Amino acid sequence: MWTVAALYTGLMSVESVYRHYTFQTGFDVAVYDQRLWLLADGRVPFSTVASKPFLGDHFEPALALLTPLYWLGLGVPGILVAQTLGLALTAPALYALARAFNASPAVASIPAFLWLASPAVVAVNRFDFHPTAFAPVLLVLSVLAAIQDRHLLLAATMLLAIGLKEDVSLTYVVLGVLLILHGKRRVGGLLATASALCFLLSSLIIQRLSDQYEWQGRRFAGGRGDSVLDAFSYMARHPWETAGDALANGGVEFLVLVLSAGGLALLSPAWMLLAAPTVAFNALSAYGPQHDLTHQYHLLAATGLFAAAAIGSGRMASVMGVGRRLASVGVAGAVVIALAGGIGVHWDSPDLGPAERAAIRRALDRIPADAPVSATPDLLPHLSQRVDVYTLPEPFVQIDWGSRITTEDLAERAERVRFVALGRRQPLEYEGDLDDVKEMLLKDGWLVVARAGPVEILERS
């Protein structure tokens, strides 16, 4: 398993870094790159890319542990490789968990191999960078530590995991409840209580620093109101419609995740509850990207189901006759999903040729390293190691994404911006047309100083 995990790390690291250098990374990479660069330089880690302070976007204090990568000058490639390593290490952890439940070495390797082959995992690895990529290995180790009564390891992995994002705490609340149900009442009660308190504390910190929760509430509610409470009120009044929407939004994805783990999670149904908080939130949300398996939102659900699969593999020996044949069919189906899905996940070759990419890099080199700049999401990760870097159309036009930046602050920042890098993509949160923003800048005297394929560099005259 260590050899296979190392092979996965090598191959996916190359692919992830290649995607970055071929302009296939975007907004999320830029946010974390700027924050880590600022932390490494001893500056206040306020992300101008998202116009939010550190911990005001998500509760991610554990992100600071990656700062040494920036002291070494590794930057974006460093965090992409670290993300790949975090996902790869989940496989040996799953193997160890299965062995702890008395699975034979051959059977214990099944959920571990399927984790590395799962298109749902690979898709997360290829989609930008997110600190939650380190949560799977920590969660699996927490389950292993809990069932082996290794309380220090459980506490350490829990604290690290909940420092990756605020909603990880909810998964640990469920883990605590499961431990209570399995007879570990004291440890389970402490874990569930501590995790719930951490969720409340992290939520209060986020609310104190930004309007992130209000913005996320509007995004979650969609046409059902302006907040999470409005959405739940609507759900209470329309239960059948809500059930139908939830099934349509998350039913197929949940089934694919169960099958991706070979269906082995069905042999330990109680442990499948680890996936419940993430599955429920994604299915009930009106935000489209939470309904697919190409972004990072399903990662904790996948981890919970694969942990259940590892535990279920230990019960394979007791499954006889029809049950064993069904398990074999499930594993074979997971292999088919991995092969078919893998082809689809890896097939999107860059639509920019080598000459065009080189021309874009030369155009970006026209922008001085310390110059304030505003850029589209496809160019942001290549300009984000500076104090003033904004997501176009900001700071000229405000984007609604939970920031407390005032119009006066934006006007002041707009005066400082010297360059604009206009590429192919615009922020999902901006409903306007960037061509209108470009026209506005040209009327204000900005000049196009470089063109390379779909990219234009504008400089203030």
Structure tokens at 66: 């990656």
**Edge-to-edge strands, sheet with 447-452:** 389-391, 373-375, 419-422, 455-459, 447-452
Mean pLDDT, the chain, rounded, equals 92
Peptide bond into 105 cis (omega under 30): no
Give 217's pLDDT tier (boundaries 50, 70, 90). Answer: very high
Tokens encoding 176? 């605590």
User: Cβ distance 261 to 113 under 8 Å?
Assistant: no
CA gap 376, 367 in Å, rounded: 14
| CA-angle at 344, arms to 338 and 345, nearest 5° | 80
Instruction: Specify the pLDDT at position 428.
Output: 87
Please say if the pLDDT value at position 369 is more than 70. Answer: yes
Tokens representing residue 371 in the block = 């110059």
Report the b/e string of 309-341 with b at 16+ CB within 10 A.
bbbbbbbbeeeeeeeeeebeebbeebbebbeeb
Q: Tens digits of per-residue pLDDT, 67-97?
A: 999 999 999 999 999 999 999 999 999 999 9
Q: What is the pLDDT of residues 386-431, one digit of tens each?
A: 999 999 999 999 998 888 888 899 999 999 999 999 998 999 889 8
* pLDDT for 446 beyond 70: yes
**CA 246 to the chain's CA centroid:** 21
CA 123, 79, 6, 87: dihedral to nearest 10 degrees? -40
**Cα dihedral: 12, 13, 16, 19 (round 10):** -110
- C-alpha 85/C-alpha 333 separation (Å) is 27
Q: What type of residue sits at position 62? A: A
- Residue 341: pLDDT band with limits 50, 70, 90: confident
pLDDT at 248: 93
- Element housing 59 (H / E): none
Please, which residues have CB within 8 angstroms of residue 183's CB and are 6 or more apart in sequence?
Answer: none
Distance CA 237, CA 286 (A): 17
Q: Phi, psi at residue 51, to the nearest 5°?
A: 55, 40
Cβ atoms within 10 A of the Cβ of 349, count? 8
Q: Provide the β-strand partners of residue 415.
A: none
Burial class of 84 by CB neighbour count within 10 A (0 to 12, 13 to 18, 19+)? buried
Q: Is residue 340's pLDDT more than 60? A: yes
| Cα 387-392-397 angle, rounded to 5 deg | 105
Contacts of 172 (CB under 8 A, 6+ apart): 139, 142, 158, 161, 162, 191, 192, 195, 198
Residue 322 confidence (pLDDT) above 60:
no
Q: Give the pLDDT of residue 172.
A: 98
User: What is the mean predicted confidence (pLDDT) over 105-125?
Assistant: 92
Cα(275)–Cα(168) distance, rounded to whole angstroms? Answer: 11
Closest CA to 261 of 315, 203, 217, 301: 301
The tokens for 18 are 């290649």
| pLDDT value at 319 more than 70 | no
Whole-model pTM? 0.94
With 70 as the cut, is the pLDDT of residue 279 above it?
yes
